A and B are shown apart, each in its own frame.
Chain A
Amino acid sequence: MNAFEGLAFGFSIALQWQNLLACFTGVLIGTVVGVLPGIGPIGAMALLLPVTYSMTPAGALIMLAGIYYGSMYGGSTTSILLKVPGEVSSVITVLDGYEMARRGRAGAALFVAAVGSFAAGSIGILGLAFLAPVLAASALRFGPPEFFALCILGLLVLSRLTGSSLVRAAVMVALGLGLSTVGMEPMSGVARFTFGSLELSQGLELVPIAIGLFGVAELLSSAHDKLTAERPLKVRFKELLPTRSEWKRSQGPIVRGSIMGFLFGLIPGPTAIIATFSSYALERKLSKHPEEFGHGAIEGVAGPESANNGAAQGAFIPLLALGIPFAPASAMLLTALLIHGAKTGPMLMVESPEIFWGVTSSMYVGNVMLLLLNLPLIGVFVALLRLPMYLISSLVALLCVVGTYAISNSLLDLWVLLLSGVAGYVLRQLKFEPVILLMALALGPILERSFLQSLYLTQGDLADIMTRPIAGTMLVIAAAVLIYPLLQGLVMRWRAAKPLADLKKS
């Protein structure tokens, strides 16, 4: 069966009413859990797994997959409106999305995020249908040294693009990586920095720290500035849509973000996060107005929001083509496949084509549903901003604590949330960038594991990594990212000093 025949067959499965209902239920729940901070798609999928027992394997997977990519749509909403990232992969959207909302452009930001998500989903599905076998094989060429190089590159790119000074960025990277070492060591299982606490031995949860650093810190700032805080302007219906100029500026970032996200999605690990800030970095580099980034540039919303959806679609390739889950959400889908007795791995396409093609085609149907579901809701979401600030802030406070507790019913997570909130507030006052800390924390475990595995692999000689084409190239780019601004600074200083020296001579 070629890709066209496969897609036609897949649509005949996905458009059956039972599967349409499963898809709608999945994307609706996904949107809700994406909007609510704390309750992630994995938790929602786990809760609904027993519901799928009575469904066909294709129907079950269609619903669970819908939750996953639906949550990527919803994750941007609270990032843009309230500065509370619904998902970790929406953290970077906070930077420009929230600034747009403050200027009364929340509708445009949400519209572009929804359209970008749709475009990324569509591009991802085509990639999934046509490139799955080929790309899945190349994804397997990623060994520990490649992951190590990817994480180093990701952290360096992020440190440079946030505009933070190199020293401040290094402090935040070290703090994030340091926090990631709390708990069991990934290779030997030795407890580190737990000080006898059993709960700490499982490590620090990422989501309470993310909600604390952004959500609670914002609440504290608004408690401080409540008398002078800017209220979003009243938005008329036509202002919910992006202007022609905003739309034009968004198109390129959407296409580039979609493709970049899809390619990152093929790589194991939290690559949706790397995809978002790589897209942000690229758009800032390509923009004619790089100074607008961080102050409400629409490209800063369009690119990363497309990238995180592209990555969500890309992550299905290793799962469906090879039966290998590269992300926790894919592992949940694999569990569903195994529960339903489906043969996973490369034979899935041959022995259960209704699952492979049915799920692939349902994603397109799901993306259309999400667009139809999300666009009318933009007006509702923006209207929420007109509620009095005391009500919004109080409800956000409740949402933060309830959402955090929902992750693993742990009071420790709530204390982590509060401490992170205070830390986020203080760090911002001191001009440190909390987003770098969060990314370092997210990438820390994979960086450490790949670093240790690389040491084993190279017999302790990390210089060997440079001989591997993919890893070597990434490290060279990382070195350039680090050195280029330093050299640029030196050259500028030399140029500025030269006329003075000439003047003195003459």
Chain B
Amino acid sequence: MTARLAGLIAALFFLVIGSGMMYLSPRLAGGLGLSAAEPGPGLFPMMVGALMFIAAAAHLVQTMAQTQTEAEPPYRAPRDILLLIATIAGYILLLPRAGFFVAAFLLLLGSLSIYDMPGWWRRIATSAVSTVISYLVFTLGLSVHMPAPTWFN
């Protein structure tokens, strides 16, 4: 994807968000209010939506006026970024089901692999030790409550 195309998609995305806010704000309970002296809950989001719409439209015009230069690198999402996103999402999904130990261990194992730590056994040992230390620091030391695993009940 070229920088220009990415900019156009971003501008269109913000245009949609701004339009959505302007559409939904008057439809909230109480709407925009009775008058300027008695504003409703939709007034502020309506103004913010309008600001976003105008700014996004200006950004769209600016981006369309741009010409693609050869020096600009293309935008892409490398495999490792997608893997890291999936690893963190996996942690969030696993935390309430498998508990902190399993979720944190897998998060660490996944990210150590993504960041190319050499040796599988070293990765496993580092993940296990770091999980136990972080459990001691956060749960016992700082009284952070972790969800009980539902899978093992």
Contact = CB atoms under 8 A, between A and B. Distances in A.
B129 to A, nearest CB: 11
B128 interface: no
B150 interface: no
Interface string B30-65: 100001111111111100110110111011001000
A124 B134 CA distance: 36
Contacts of A152: none
Contacts of B10: 426, 430, 432
Contacts of B89: 418
A369 interface: no
B12 to A, nearest CB: 12
Given A171-B52, A188-B30, A220-B84, A398 B108 contact: yes
B112 A390 contact: yes
Interface in A414-453: 414-415, 417-418, 421-422, 425-426, 429-430, 432, 448, 451-452
Contacts of A178: 17, 21, 45, 48-49, 52
Contact of B130 (A181, A192, A216, A398): A398
Interface in A34-87: 36, 39, 44, 47
Contacts of B37: 455-456, 459-460
A5 interface: no
Contact of A170 (B7, B51, B95, B138): B51
Interface residues on A, range: 35 or more
A407 to B, nearest CB: 10
Contact of B41 (A188, A395, A401, A414): A188
B45 A224 contact: no
A168 B143 contact: no
Contacts of B54: 170
A397 B35 contact: no
Given A47-B143, A185-B41, A430 B115 contact: no
A44 B45 CA distance: 34
A430 B84 contact: no
A15 interface: no
Interface of B, secondary structure class, is helix
Contacts of A224: 78, 80-81
A391 B48 CA distance: 42
Nearest to A169: B55
Contact of B145 (A220, A390, A409, A451): A409
B39 A174 contact: no
Nearest to B37: A460
Contact of A398 (B56, B104, B115, B146): B104
Nearest to B29: A190
A226 B80 contact: yes
B39 A455 contact: yes
9 contacts: A168-B59, A174-B48, A216-B88, A224-B80, A394-B115, A405-B95, A430-B10, A456-B39, A461-B36
Given A178-B49, A188-B40, A459-B36, 4 more contacts: A33-B142, A36-B142, A193-B45, A390-B112
Leading 10 A-B pairs by shortest Cβ distance: A460-B36, A174-B52, A390-B115, A460-B37, A170-B55, A185-B41, A394-B111, A190-B41, A390-B117, A406-B144
